[in-house]
Structure 1
Amino acid sequence: MLETIDNWLTPSVRLSRLVEPVFRVMTSLIFIIGGLGHFGQHQYMLDRMDKSPWREVVNSIGDPSVLLWLSGVVFIIFGITLAIGFFTRLSALLILVTLLPITFFTHIAPGHVGPLFKNVAIMGALAFLWFKGGGAYALDYRWLKRTQ
């Protein structure tokens, strides 16, 4: 019975190929929009970081304002490349590496359980894209096919 249900729920090959770019774009949107927020809501985010119990650690790493600008740039640029499937693995890895300290230093705090686990889920999506690559309709896929 379970096999019948699974077979019934299994999408067609065509639909499966369509899901890959949709997954990339949906995953990347949070970084593109969020990265823009690093610029448009810069002071609000700095104030929020200042309330973090980890603020002294963040200050020891570097100027929080500069770190916020840099993470915004990474999120926007590599969010776009992730969406179009250009250097998908590199894009996913760089966003993941940028997201890890942000998650740790901003969301591991009292009252931030929701954002913490949202980021954990997003990190899972990024790890999946890093390991799997861009898939169907990615520029990576077309480029690799042409060079082989």
Structure 2
Amino acid sequence: MRTNVPISRVSIHILRIALSGIFLIASANHLLHVEKTAQRIDKASFKGIAYFFGDPQLLVILSGLVMLIAGLLFLIGYKTKWAAMVLVAVLIPITLTIQVGQTATLGPLFKNIAILGGLTFFIMNNTEKLLK
């Protein structure tokens, strides 16, 4: 059973803009500080996940480019559902590699879980149709 729930257009814009910011900042960090970001992978408890996919420095550059492009598309509201899916595909391995196993600070792990929840909203709801 599907019910229609009214959603404020402004709230959709605010959520989309707020979520895109983390990816744009992260992409800049990945692209401007490749070596430093790759070193974080080496120190991670589950670095084997990253190494399974390839060279950490190459992964940092690729993830930075993907987050930049998908983050910009998400920011402007173009192909929002697809951009959100791409961002989820990048965020999950980063979260599993870097945040899981970091028992000293659980904040970044739950930040990423909250971001995944926000992206899931855009994947499950056709917000572009809602805004027309």
TM-score bucket (shorter structure): 0.7 to 0.9
Gaps of 5+ in 1: 1-12, 142-148
Q: Please give the alpha-carbon distance, in whole angstroms, between the structure 2 residues aligned to 1:112 and 1:100.
A: 18
- The residue number in structure 1 matching 2:112 is 119
Q: Verify the 8 A CA contact 1:89 1:129 in the aligned structure 2.
A: yes
Q: What amino acid does structure 1 have at the position aligned with 2:75?
A: A
Q: Please give the alpha-carbon distance, in whole angstroms, between the structure 1 residues aligned to 2:14 and 2:66.
A: 21
Q: What amino acid does structure 2 have at the position aligned with 1:108?
A: V
- The residue number in structure 2 matching 1:7 is none
- The residue number in structure 1 matching 2:26 is 34
Mapped pair 1:104 → 2:96: yes
Displacement of 1:136: 7.3
Q: 1:130 aligns with which of 109, 114, 123?
A: 123
Q: Please give the alpha-carbon distance, in whole angstroms, between the structure 2 residues aligned to 1:129 and 1:137.
A: 11
- TM-score normalized by the length of structure 1: 0.77
Q: What amino acid does structure 1 have at the position aligned with 2:55?
A: D
Displacement of 1:121: 0.3
Q: Please give the alpha-carbon distance, in whole angstroms, between the structure 1 residues aligned to 2:130 and 2:76.
A: 8
Q: Verify the 8 A CA contact 1:96 1:126 in the aligned structure 2.
A: yes
Displacement of 1:26: 0.8
Indicate the percent of aligned positions where both proteins have the same amino acid. 32
Gaps of 5+ in 2: 1-5
- The residue number in structure 1 matching 2:69 is 77
Q: Verify the 8 A CA contact 1:24 1:134 in the aligned structure 2.
A: no
RMSD (Å) for aligned C-alpha atoms: 1.9
Q: Please give the alpha-carbon distance, in whole angstroms, between the structure 1 residues aligned to 2:54 and 2:124.
A: 31
Rate the CA distance shift 1:57–1:92 in 2: closer, same or farther, 3 A.
closer
Q: Verify the 8 A CA contact 2:49 2:93 in the aligned structure 1.
A: no
Q: What amino acid does structure 1 have at the position aligned with 2:91?
A: L
Q: Please give the alpha-carbon distance, in whole angstroms, between the structure 1 residues aligned to 2:97 and 2:50.
A: 7
- TM-score normalized by the length of structure 2: 0.86
- DSSP 3-state at the match of 2:127: coil
Rate the CA distance shift 1:136–1:22 in 2: closer, same or farther, 3 A.
farther
Rate the CA distance shift 1:77–1:60 in 2: closer, same or farther, 3 A.
same
Q: Please give the alpha-carbon distance, in whole angstroms, between the structure 2 residues aligned to 1:86 and 1:79.
A: 10
